[in-house]
Structure 1
Amino acid sequence: MHAYEYINNLIPPLKLSDKTGMALAWMEEIRTDVLPVIDKGVFLGLIKEERIFEINNPDTLIADIEPSNPDCWVFSDKHIYDVLRVSSEQNSNIVAVLDRESNYLGIVTMEDSIAAFADSLSIKSQGSVVILSLSMPDYSLSEISRIIESENAKVLSSFITTDPLDDSKIKLTLKLDQTELRHIKATLERFGYKIIDHYQEESGVTSEEDRIGNLLRFLDI
């Protein structure tokens, strides 16, 4: 799940000697509104379509435009989650990938990142999602898994986030392999766990749109 595994080779970088007219042509061809800018293998930032339209001169050199988002990058050995984090922080649908010598290797798109992360979290697998609120000292995935397994279910994946309503709490999101949650919820509550939300998936084929929706609910975005 490293960033370099998901580099999109169809999206080319712009060089300083390129012109904005060519940049727009590339954007139209590959259906994107942003391209990375490099100079001698060094990532400088991003050029957005709206900025080129503001200039309104197809002969303007990329060198004459200050690129945005110079920090929109990750090292190649970082997890795909880091790509999603940087994408969110930089409000960009592409993230540059650099090696440990800071050489530009390519970019990863937000769409590819979501698809890869969804796979890693078993989003495609039929089941359900349960979200617990608990204190960090009370967190024990092995204990929670044991309780869930006592109801003939298994934890396929888990995800921890801070609770925005209480700094002393965490939210533990669990993807389970069972769609029926009534007995699982009752057992978790009997052991003192607070369930703050849950999602039971319908049976049937999951579309790509539903798959992404499941991921966003899983991440509580």
Structure 2
Amino acid sequence: MFVQEYITKDYPTFSLQDEIRNAFFAASEFGFTHIIVEENGDFIGMIPRECLVENESGSIEQLKPYLEKFALLEETQIWDTIKLFHTFNTNIIPVISMQEKYLGYVDYTDIFHEFAGYPLFSENGAVLTIQTQSLHYSFSEISQIVESNQAKIYGCFISEINDENIHITLKISSENLSSIGETFERYGYTIIQKYYHDEKSELIKDRFAFFQKYLEI
């Protein structure tokens, strides 16, 4: 999935000559954290809405010191949006060409909606966080342990890492969960967290709370 498939253009952009109050009104109406600044199709940068509140009069030109230069190329994978959403505390990311021409933007709600349909979030199962030595990390071994207990991996990500240890969070089918945990321990893994409920509809009450773990990487 590429960013270009999720580009939207209904949010207005602003030039440095436009009035701050108009930009603030648009950002408030759309509920976005930033305004997009461009000149003759060239992407200039993003300005946080909070800066507009503190400087209600005048033109956007006077807010140039607050410009934040972040964007994505249209050929970028949607996974790369996650880090930008988190790093810049934003809910909107501009999309540009190789020549830095403004093409549109992606909205975090569209991206999160796409991720919500992935088995990592949509399938019922158990969430298991395990720890092992960083040098010992082997995804093939982890897969073998889960699959040897007649279970499936729906998703996996590294939730913490340092020179000594690594934490791996797994979303797995809930069959033989106790056996899976015991097998991991026999292979030298430590079970850090295990989340499971017999009522499948209650297994993950908020899928985006689980997704937030990824955003904190």
Alpha-carbon distance in structure 2 between the residues aligned to 1:120 and 1:189:
29
Specify whether residues 67 and 114 from structure 1 end up closer, same or farther in structure 2 by C-alpha distance, changes over 3 A only. farther
Equivalent positions of 1:180-195 (< 5 A) are: 181-195=177-191
Which residue of structure 2 aligns with residue 197 of structure 1? 193
Alpha-carbon distance in structure 2 between the residues aligned to 1:205 and 1:47:
40
Specify whether residues 190 and 98 from structure 1 end up closer, same or farther in structure 2 by C-alpha distance, changes over 3 A only. same
Alpha-carbon distance in structure 1 between the residues aligned to 2:121 and 2:73:
26
Alpha-carbon distance in structure 2 between the residues aligned to 1:56 and 1:191:
61
What secondary structure sits across from 1:158 in the alignment?
strand
**Taking structure 1 as the reference length, what is the TM-score of the superposition?**
0.82
Which residue of structure 2 aligns with residue 49 of structure 1? 49
1:128 to 126, 129, 138: 126
Which residue of structure 2 aligns with residue 170 of structure 1? 166
Alpha-carbon distance in structure 2 between the residues aligned to 1:67 and 1:7:
27
Check conservation: 2:133, 2:165, Cα contact below 8 A: yes
Question: What residue ranges of structure 2 are gaps of 5+ in the alignment?
Answer: none
What secondary structure sits across from 1:126 in the alignment?
coil
**Taking structure 2 as the reference length, what is the TM-score of the superposition?**
0.83
Which residue of structure 2 aligns with residue 11 of structure 1? 11
Shift of 1:210: 0.8
Specify whether residues 128 and 153 from structure 1 end up closer, same or farther in structure 2 by C-alpha distance, changes over 3 A only. same
Shift of 1:148: 0.9
Alpha-carbon distance in structure 1 between the residues aligned to 2:172 and 2:67:
38
Check conservation: 1:124, 1:206, Cα contact below 8 A: no
Say whether residues 1:210 and 2:209 are aligned partners. no
Specify whether residues 206 and 17 from structure 1 end up closer, same or farther in structure 2 by C-alpha distance, changes over 3 A only. farther
Which residue of structure 2 aligns with residue 150 of structure 1? 148
Question: What residue ranges of structure 1 are gaps of 5+ in the alignment?
Answer: none
Alpha-carbon distance in structure 2 between the residues aligned to 1:212 and 1:109:
16
Which residue of structure 2 aligns with residue 84 of structure 1? 82
Check conservation: 2:116, 2:207, Cα contact below 8 A: yes
Specify whether residues 121 and 203 from structure 1 end up closer, same or farther in structure 2 by C-alpha distance, changes over 3 A only. closer
Which residue of structure 2 aligns with residue 24 of structure 1? 24
Specify whether residues 191 and 129 from structure 1 end up closer, same or farther in structure 2 by C-alpha distance, changes over 3 A only. same
Specify whether residues 54 and 220 from structure 1 end up closer, same or farther in structure 2 by C-alpha distance, changes over 3 A only. closer
Check conservation: 2:33, 2:90, Cα contact below 8 A: no
